Amino acid sequence: MSGVVPDRPDAPVSSGYRAYALGLLVVVYVLNFIDRQILTILAKPIADELQFSDSQLGLLTGPAFALFYTFAGIPIARWADVGVRRSIIALALLIWSGMTALTSLAGSLGQLALARIGVGVGEAGCSPPAHSLISDLFPIERRATALAIYSLGIPIGGALGSLLGGWLGELYGWRIAFLAVGLPGVLLAAVVRLTLREPKRAVVHGRESVREVFSFMLRRRAFVHMSIGAALHAFYGYGAGAFVPVFLMRVHGLALGELGTWLAAIGLTTGVLGTYLGGAVSDRLASLEVRWYMRVPAIASVLAVPFSLLFYLWPDGRTALLLSIPGSLLGPIYLGPTFAMTQTLVRPQMRALASAILLFIINLIGLGLGPFFVGVLSDALKPSYGIDSVRYALLGTVVVGALWSSLHYMLAARTLAEDLRAKDA
């Protein structure tokens, strides 16, 4: 039976402050995903006004954001491993919120792409320092749960992005929607800088270079397979996230405001519950056998496949949305255990950079290529399937991606215990 490798912060912190710090970081992450999600719910009205193809939409929701988000993450994480993490998070929040507001002024593909690049650079400074800070606040036996709670920002932000974007876009237009969701982050940046305290870091022995940390992680087979599994999950997840609103509006005729309400309600309830359960269930099962940190996301990915088939093939859009609920619940389960094991597989001084390396892999493959792939595939299928091309592009991407992701999580489980023991060797 394999346990968890001892690893905990050196300095005690009050439970009240832990809760406040984690809660504030969740709010920051919520804004991160509101500003990221709003483009997808508003994609169709933007495309209608500016005459974009599905491939161009995929370019905006994928590479325009992801490439800069991905490549900026490594140097920012290196900074976070030695710098003041609260200041980095506050500055990042200020940048991405300001660029979201400026998106309201865009009038062409190039201008929208530049705005998304700015959002990507800003958002790159959020999770690596946040993951590192949380890992210094919480001991290992609570870390997956804490990081899963932080990851609740994804479904909450995604839901609010859909809801606010849908109704603001329908009532006032997409430009006002971008302005309205961007401005609050400018104010929150000051709150982060003034009230979040920098915790004492776990004991550090030296400082490794980016190459040394990357090499260290590549020698852990569990990390290699886990990162591939997470990247594949993100590939189909971000691809679906970018084009499901287009699919439901184009194929099933749902209105923008109604669609935003549906996606917000489903995304919020299933996303929050699924994300939390992923961390809590993994922590519970891993107290008996550490390999469950990887088995849980593997099983969840397989179980989600039949519900995805029902969602994409059902002839009525509203019924299809109801049938998507179980799959939506299973989708985010991988987040908590994946981020927790990334932090736990490395030494304390590597944590922010380790998080950035994982996010680099996930976002380069998942966010960078997933939406663009679905858009290109949809355009390629359009001569044969017409408006249903987006349905089959989504269906094939999601089913193959989920099964392939599950395989790599199971391979990661095989060596996880060994790699955890070897990290301090």
Q: What is the pLDDT of residues 29-64, one digit of tens each?
A: 999 999 988 988 898 888 888 888 888 888 887 888
Spatial CA neighbour of 36 closest among 259, 242, 184, 233: 242
Q: Are 122 and 96 in contact (CB under 8 A)?
A: yes
Q: Is the pLDDT of residue 356 over 60?
A: yes
Residue 64 lies in a domain: yes
Say which residues have a Cβ less than 8 Å from residue 269's Cβ, sequence separation at least 6.
none
Residue 10 lies in a domain: no
Q: Is the pLDDT of residue 259 over 60?
A: yes
| Residue in this structure with the two tokens 């852990």, named with its chain if needed | 220
Three-state secondary-structure class, residue 106: coil
Number of domains into which the chain is organized: 1
| Residue in this structure with the two tokens 């439970």, named with its chain if needed | 15
Residue 412: count other Cβ atoms within 10 Å of its Cβ: 29
265-276 burial string, b = 16+ CB within 10 Å, else e? ebbbebbbbbbb
> In whole angstroms, what is the distance from residue 268 CA to residue 156 CA?
5
Q: What is the per-residue pLDDT across 314-340, written as a single tens digit (0 to 9) for each?
A: 999 999 999 999 999 999 899 889 988
Q: What is the per-residue pLDDT across 236-257, written as a single tens digit (0 to 9) for each?
A: 998 998 899 989 999 999 988 8
Three-state secondary-structure class, residue 365: helix
Residue 154 lies in a domain: yes
The stretch 223-228 carries a mean pLDDT of 94
Q: What's residue 306's pLDDT?
A: 95
Residue 395: count other Cβ atoms within 10 Å of its Cβ: 17
* Tokens representing residue 406 in the block: 């599950």
Q: How far apart are the first and last CA of the chain?
A: 20
Residue 28: count other Cβ atoms within 10 Å of its Cβ: 25
CATH number assigned to the domain comprising residue 401? 1.20.1250.20
Spatial CA neighbour of 136 closest among 49, 30, 10, 43: 10
Spatial CA neighbour of 358 closest among 90, 118, 127: 127
Residue 256: count other Cβ atoms within 10 Å of its Cβ: 21
User: How many angstroms from the chain centroid is the CA of residue 138?
Assistant: 21
Helices (H), 173-290: 174-195, 210-218, 221-250, 256-286
pLDDT averaged over every residue in the chain: 87
* Tokens representing residue 329 in the block: 């619940």
Q: What's residue 373's pLDDT?
A: 92
Q: Are 371 and 238 in contact (CB under 8 A)?
A: yes
Residues of the chain with pLDDT > 70, as a percent, come to: 95
Q: What is the per-residue pLDDT across 106-115, written as a single tens digit (0 to 9) for each?
A: 888 889 989 9
> In whole angstroms, what is the distance from residue 361 CA to residue 366 CA?
8
Residue 265 lies in a domain: yes
Residue 101 lies in a domain: yes
Q: What's residue 364's pLDDT?
A: 87
Q: What is the per-residue pLDDT across 137-179, written as a single tens digit (0 to 9) for each?
A: 887 777 778 887 898 888 889 889 989 998 999 899 999 999 9
The half-sphere exposure of 348 on its side-chain side, counting CA atoms within 13 A, is 21
- Domain with 148 in it: 15-199+209-422
> In whole angstroms, what is the distance from residue 301 CA to residue 410 CA?
11
* Tokens representing residue 239 in the block: 């691809």
30-58 burial string, b = 16+ CB within 10 Å, else e? bbbbbbbbbbbbbbbbbbeeeebebbbbb
Residue 9 lies in a domain: no
pLDDT band at 82 (very low <50, low <70, confident <90, very high): confident
Residue 257 lies in a domain: yes
Q: What contacts 24+ positions apart, CB below 8 Å, involve 170-174? A: 170/255, 170/256, 170/257, 170/260, 171/257, 173/45, 174/42, 174/45, 174/46, 174/49
Spatial CA neighbour of 231 closest among 373, 66, 360, 126: 360
Residue 42 lies in a domain: yes
Q: Are 342 and 423 in contact (CB under 8 A)?
A: no
